[in-house]
Amino acid sequence: MYNKQMHEVIVVGGGVIGCSIAYELAKKGQRVILLERGRIGQEATQAAAGMLGAQSEMEDVGPLFQWSRISRSLFPRLSEELKEVTGIDMGLNREGLLHIALNDEQRHELIRRERLHSSVRARAEWLSAKEAAQLEPQLGEDLLGALYLPDDGQVDAPLLGQALAKAASIRGVELREYMQVLGLLTEGEKVLGVMTSDGPIYGNQVIVAAGTWSSQLLSGIGVELPMYPVKGECFSVLERSPRLRKTLFTHGCYIVPKAGGRLVVGATMVPGSYDRKVTVAGLAQLMERAAGLVPSIAEAEWEKAWTGLRPQTADGLPYIGAIPGIEGLYAATGHYRNGILLSPITGRVMADLVSGGSGAEIFSSDEQAAQKETILGGSGGRDGAESRHGSTGDRAEAESRHEGSEDRAVMESRHGGTGERVGAGSGHEWSGDQAGTEATMEVWKAFCPSRRLVTDQLLGEKRHSEKELITIEIAH
């Protein structure tokens, strides 16, 4: 039966990105329908380990790094908000992350990243193998050190997806599962809605947030967003006596501790594959690497294994914004391994854009505290790192300052004697002096400078945020 009802906004895709957008739109009073081809939250969201790796996942400090830090800073408030609205606790864990070096090349790279992160006042600290083991005694003996990132955290990704979907529904969003979108309906240079397996659904604006299937949907009207799936295999085990507290991350493997002694281990990377099967070879690779990081994991009880398809773009940057030339059509896709991390900022930016704003609402006065961590960083960042290692010292100098020099008590007293490392479990991750509007706007201006997401007279002569305008430049 054809649905003649006119919706203000149609969101295509029921993953964490689509649900975040729908929720934020509903908070603005928009009448929204969300369409999902299967079960809501059962694709990449269900498969995700939930890492908030704003620093661990980034190799440079470009605009995506800045967006990631902004989005990470939004999670504490979002967690409280969703729990109040829905009763669902997303399992926000702020114990930090250890990025492990297993060879000299990795050690050199992580020490370089420490200096790089410190230069933009993002907290990072190189630890010797002994210091890392003092933080996490379960670590194996093969590591050469670790980059400690106290502000990277994690959530329970399926619970985050459930909370966003339920909150959106409570706010009035119509959620439609098992509703496959077959194509986009357009007339001239305007979108009219979507054609589904149950007939057309009409709307003033359409947001395509369908992960790896977004490019196929858009190509039907001549819009090319180059994107491909990356298959990832994961497994989980159960520890009888939970001991691991911090997320562990290294090349080709991560271990994420969850509630109840559950450890999530991932993930293989198979580009271009839509295959959902879990392979013996993939699991064997992950098991070997995980046991190298935490030998005791070999004694843990097996729980399950699964796969997920992550939407990747050619340059690793997501598509977020309006499709030029087609009024009312937007895209929010291609987040790859950072969909969970970027879900809050994507939801807010897209909701603001679709509602006629500039996308800069997240920098309003009531969000200033959250932006301090992003723009100016924490007091334990650049100053702390440089005071210990120097801003230009080489790898040997950095290591010699740490190697075997402190026991755990000394390490803790160095950071305030609280019994925790910098920021672990603290109420705030940042302590800047001001939000820095100009610096904030520079983040927006630089985001994806080489192709799609660009700004049109971003700041104007007076550099006001209300002059900002995000568009997507598509080569047809």
Instruction: Give the model confidence (pLDDT) of 375-409 as tens digits.
Output: 333 333 333 333 334 333 344 344 443 443 333 33
Instruction: Find the helix or strand (DSSP H, E) in which 185 lies.
Output: strand 181-187
Pairwise CA distance, residues 140 & 291, whole Å: 8
Q: Which residue has the tokens 């796969």?
A: 307
The more confidently predicted of residues 463 and 30 is 30
Highest mean pLDDT among 223-232, 285-294, 416-425: 285-294
111 alpha carbon, distance to own chain's centre: 23
Confirm if 57 and 67 have CB atoms less than 8 A apart.
no
Task: Identify the CATH number of the domain defined by range 1-90+151-226+314-363+436-476.
Answer: 3.50.50.60
pTM of the predicted structure, to 2 decimals: 0.80
274 exposed, middle or buried (CB, 10 Å; 0-12, 13-18, 19+)?
exposed
Q: Which residue has the tokens 């755990």?
A: 408
The domain spans of the chain are 1-90+151-226+314-363+436-476
Confirm if 206 and 8 have CB atoms less than 8 A apart.
no
Confirm if 125 and 385 have CB atoms less than 8 A apart.
yes
Nearest Cα neighbor of 471 from 334, 324, 332, 352 is 324
Is the pLDDT score of 111 beyond 80? yes
Bin 433: left if φ > 0, else alpha if -120 < ψ < 50, else beta. Answer: alpha
Residues 5-33 have a mean pLDDT of 95
The more confidently predicted of residues 315 and 419 is 315
> What are the tens digits of pLDDT across the range 130-189?
999 999 999 999 999 999 999 999 999 999 999 999 999 999 999 999 999 999 999 999
Q: Band the pLDDT of 243: cuts 50, 70, 90.
A: confident
Dihedral over Cα of 71, 76, 78, 82: its sign: positive
What pLDDT does residue 333 have? 94
Is the pLDDT score of 331 beyond 60? yes
